[in-house]
Structure 1
Amino acid sequence: MTIDDQLRAHRLFLTDHLRKQTDFSRTDQNRGVPPPPLQKPAPPDSLRVSLPDFRQWQQAIGQTSLVEAIGRRESRRRFAEDKLALAELSFLLWATQGVRRVLGHGHALRNVPSAGARHSFETYLFIRNVTELTPGLYRYLPLEHELVHVRDVPDMGTALIRAAYGQKFVGRSAVTFVWACIPGRMEWRYGLTAHRVILLDAGHVCQNLYLACEAVGAGTCAVAAYDQAELDQLLGVDGEEEFAVYVAPVGKKE
């Protein structure tokens, strides 16, 4: 197969031809299989951190108009060493994966759109410089608006830079967001057509992060180049039923 043939084959992923070829009567949803849970459970003995609620972070971040946020939005790879406030992190998490209403049966309305309200992502946070938090790897629990401590990561900055193919800013941020995908959540409803819309959803999530960062005097830069196996190992996910799909370091602007 020539390079041109390979390019044409991969372009099919960007199209919606599979929809006409998919027998939706055979999806888990239409076979009566219960939907996957909205979020991964936290181990019962894990350290959990309650995040500031809407009233608290609203007071902390002040007011930025949508016009201003869009007008200032850009990819930022240089960060100050200032700490990100816990209230600011709470706002960023609310903006990117906050739950408005649980619809039941594995569906929820959030602050970002998702095909079929399936929301296939788990948000992991490599926290280096956030007030009130010990550095380490955490995961966001959107239903409770809490963080759960996953584990300590020795020499975390170096490990992140290595996993990102030497991109130094990835390990020098106050916090690095990593969205991991659980494809089964979307496959349950859409079968073979699930994977294209999963990546469309990732764009929705990251753009909200860009705009929310502008509201708190921070910046981010979306990263799609990383060593898949190494990053999955850092997250502690299996690389099959859950794996990293997008990275976004966040830090205060210089």
Structure 2
Amino acid sequence: MSKPTITTESGRYFLTDRIREEVNFYCTPQSEGVDPPPVQKPAQPGSRIIPLPSRHEWSIKAYDLQTAIADRESHRRFTGDHLSLDELAFLLWSTQGVRAVIHEAAVLRTVPSAGCRHPFETYLGVLKVDGLDPGLYRYLPLDHALVHERDLPNLPAYLTAACRGQAFAGQAAVTFIWTAVMARTEWRYAEASYKVIALDAGHVCQNLYLACEAIGCGTCAIAAYNQGLADELVAVDGYEEFTVYIAPAGKVTRK
């Protein structure tokens, strides 16, 4: 059976909010008393956990927000210098850091999310970060820590292939790979989830851009990736959880 074709009409419909008028919000998992999905995927037993410096510990200088906004641009060329662990911790806190835990279904973070659902997991293809061996890691926002997921031979080539030959993905200090755990948002919004998840991804990546400006780094958001390879890279099933956005980051030479 052939896959359904995405038409202009269906694509534009996705960007409207008409679906909200069609959803019975009295029949969502939340309304039916189903427990909310966990706000963070647990680490596998025996995994190596790497605590990260907190904002009260890291040596990140204050940076003017107006300057960061004015200078924000996409960078595809990196110097090859390493990031410090403080700098990586700052980038992770800026994009998915936890400000407060309200209850089991609501965690306030440094970025907005529809209904406070925060569907994303942050995977990292680490290549040049002081104190970390190259490999695949995942951010644990509730713990402000990394979990080592696995080592990958020839990780730069794998990242490049997953990003459809865009070589800078394998030349960065670290490549952010955001996946969406669909049940987190579907629990509250059902079929109205999908547009807001796309909007949420934009909030996260814009914070990465601005945070990069503050530490002499650059990034470039990637939406053109190979879905199968990207999902395989982070070992997700491609249905309940799948890659939605990628952003390599590294040190850059300022003009």
TM-score normalised by L of structure 1 = 0.96
1:54-93 map, 5 Å: 54-57=55-58, 60-93=59-92
Residue 198 of structure 2 aligns with an amino acid whose one-letter code is: L
Q: In the alignment, does 2:33 pair up with 1:28?
A: no
- Alpha-carbon distance, 1:8 to partner: 1.7
Cα separation, 1, equivalents of 2:56 and 2:81: 24
| 1:54-85 deviations in Å (ceiling 9; x for gaps) | 1222xx22121001110110000000111000
Partner deviation per Cα, 1:188-232 (whole Å, 9 max, x = no partner): 000000010001000000000000000000000000001101110
In structure 1, list runs of 5 or more residues that go unmatched: none
Instruction: Tell whether 2:51 aligns with 1:50.
Output: yes
Supply the AA of the counterpart residue of 2:45.
P
Task: Tell me which amino acid in the other structure corresponds to 2:16.
Answer: T
What is aligned with 1:218? 217
1:9 & 1:88 partners in 2: Cα distance? 41
Q: For residues 73-131 of structure 1, what are the alpha-carbon distances to aligned partners after superposition, in whole Å with 9 as ceiling and x for unaligned? A: 00000001110000000000000000011111221100000000000000000000000
Following the alignment from structure 1 to structure 2, what is the Cα–Cα distance between the partners of residues 197 and 9? 16
Partner of 1:159: 158
- The CA distance in 1 between the partners of 2:142 and 2:114, in whole Å, is 19
Equivalent position of 1:150 in the other structure: 149
Aligned to 1:168: 167
Task: Tell me how many residue pairs correspond in the alignment.
Answer: 248
Percent of aligned pairs with the same residue?
Answer: 55
Contact 1:232 1:243 in 2 (8 A): yes
Deviation at 1:43, TM superposition (A): 1.1
Letter aligned with residue 46 of structure 2: D
Q: Which 4+ residue blocks in structure 1 deviate beyond 6 angstroms? A: none
Corresponding residue of 2:11: 10
| Separation in 1, partners of 2:44, 2:165 | 33
Distance in 2 (alpha carbons) for counterparts of 1:193 and 1:169:
35
Q: How far apart are 1:6 and its partner, in Å?
A: 1.5
User: Higher helix share goes to which structure?
Assistant: 1
Aligned residues: CA RMSD: 0.9
Q: Which amino acid aligns with 1:41?
A: P
CA distance in 1, matches of 2:75, 2:193: 31
